[in-house]
Structure 1
Amino acid sequence: MNRSEGVVPARRRGLADEVADRVRDAVFDGVYAPGSQLREVELAEALGVSRGPVREALLKLEREGLVRSEWHRGATVTALSDVDVAELDSLRAALEQLAVGLVVDHAPDDALAAIDAVVRRMERAADEHEMVRCDLDFHDAVYAAAGHRRLREAWQAIRSQVHLFLLTRIGVETDGYLAGIPAEHRQLADALRARDREQALELFAAHRRHAADILRGAGRD
């Protein structure tokens, strides 16, 4: 028997992936806020596709942690609970501690230059949503500079949830956000370039803690 006869034929998933990209971008652009319902019929009509690709796309986004499905509510954009915030914060801490150490010890100058370039983009960000995207790009550049493939993959696995985390943060408070975030990231980049492990770890921890504290404070209101 030809072993290939036991392999299930591949399905074309390009359309579902495109739908997932469109819905993800809409969430990240603020079109759908946390807790918003994502109705298959409405999305299919808006995107000009059948419900099948929309259903597949929502399942993909659910695996990313961006969407939650409940039998009585259908699919909704994830609204982060206190437990979600705490878990994301602690997991980011573990990943970033390894990443920062690797960058300080081994990152080449061109990788550090890529981090600096993102900070310069942050200084030109026009609004909060663009700043959030730059913030994620900054951390992408840090993980790339670490030169650790599996660590970078672990970051990618939670990246959408961290994006949602930051969107939730600006939904709670924006005072000083556009003015303060570039300077904060400039400090992070400078500590990495100085190869100062202790200062870099301290600054990255403070950076995470500030955003998490805003969300924890909102949860107590």
Structure 2
Amino acid sequence: MEVTPLRKAARRGLADEAADRVREAIFAGHFRPGAPLREVELAASLEISRGSVREGIAQLAREGLVRVGWHRPTTVVDVTAEDVEEVYSVRAALDRLAAVTARTAASPGDLDALDALVVDLEKAVRSKADGPQLLALDIAFHDRVYAAAGNGRLAEAWEAVRSQVFLFQLQRVSLGHEHYRARVVAEHRELAELMRAGNRDRLAQVAEAHVHSARESLLAGL
């Protein structure tokens, strides 16, 4: 039997690390939408090669966080109204399916974890945590919903848009922090309660409305 020759797999540990560190910096608000990402500066800061940074940036581009191109600077993506409509319409459908699936598939431990994240959100609001801290808990809640749903392909679809959702939500928070702070606990508490003991149709409506509310808030601020 003939064996198809394959190149040896490249070890991408440093590239993955570069992607993780730059992603964290974007999500922490250190690199704003439209901000340039300079390969030389990033390599020096991370103390790794420019090649590893380049591979890491390519990974972030595939996630939709970064725009790259010939003869133009690499930048964090700008948040445009068209992008918001596309991403949030996809997210609304995914969140609706994830919530109703998790309602059936979630274990008691999953439901307890969601309740605990709502408590953490409430504590963060009371302690006047900043936007990125609140948003990290917000996204962690939805990560848990998708995990509880137990559908691998659904989880992969969420991962495909998760980075853009985080970035867009970060822009939403920066444009209307008090509006977000005032709603985030109640909205997630309602979702957690409906997944534990609520009507399926009501849960589907609330999960979708949660996303549409975020979309409208962001569009109003752009």
SS at match of 2:218: helix
Question: Which residue does the alignment assign to 2:215?
Answer: 212
- 1:177-216 matches, within 5 Å, as 177-216=180-219
Q: Which has the higher contact order (CA 8 A, sep 6+)?
A: 2
* 1:162-200 CA distance string (max 9 Å, x none): 101111101211124334311221111111111321221
Q: Residue 127 of structure 1 contacts residue 178 of structure 1 at CA under 8 Å; is this kept in 2?
A: no
Cα displacement (A) at 1:71: 2.8
1:175 counterpart = 2:178? yes
Q: Residue 92 of structure 2 contacts residue 212 of structure 2 at CA under 8 Å; is this kept in 1?
A: no
Question: Which residue does the alignment assign to 1:3?
Answer: 3
Cα displacement (A) at 1:34: 0.5
SS at match of 1:123: helix
User: Identity of paired residues, percent?
Assistant: 48
Query: What TM-score does the superposition give when structure 2 sets the normalisation length?
Result: 0.93
Cα displacement (A) at 1:104: 2.1
Structure 2 gaps of 5+ residues are: none
Question: Which residue does the alignment assign to 2:161?
Answer: 158
* 1:1-50 CA distance string (max 9 Å, x none): 7626x111111110010011110000001110010000101111111112
Aligned pairs, how many?
218
Distance in 1, Cα, partners of 2:211 & 2:97: 15
Cα displacement (A) at 1:218: 2.6
Instruction: Give the AA of the match of 1:90.
Output: S
Question: Which residue does the alignment assign to 2:106?
Answer: 107
* 1:39-67 CA distance string (max 9 Å, x none): 10111111111211011110000000010
Question: Which residue does the alignment assign to 1:95?
Answer: 94
Distance in 2, Cα, partners of 1:99 & 1:204: 9
Structure 1 gaps of 5+ residues are: none
Distance in 2, Cα, partners of 1:106 & 1:18: 34
Work out which of the residue numbers 145, 148, 151 in structure 2 matches 1:145.
148
Distance in 2, Cα, partners of 1:92 & 1:34: 20
Q: Residue 105 of structure 1 contacts residue 195 of structure 1 at CA under 8 Å; is this kept in 2?
A: no
SS at match of 1:167: helix
Q: Residue 66 of structure 1 contacts residue 164 of structure 1 at CA under 8 Å; is this kept in 2?
A: yes
Distance in 1, Cα, partners of 2:106 & 2:39: 45
1:136 counterpart = 2:135? no
Distance in 1, Cα, partners of 2:206 & 2:93: 14
Q: Residue 88 of structure 1 contacts residue 162 of structure 1 at CA under 8 Å; is this kept in 2?
A: yes
Q: Residue 118 of structure 2 contacts residue 185 of structure 2 at CA under 8 Å; is this kept in 1?
A: yes
Instruction: Give the AA of the match of 1:182.
Output: V
Instruction: Give the AA of the match of 1:192.
Output: M
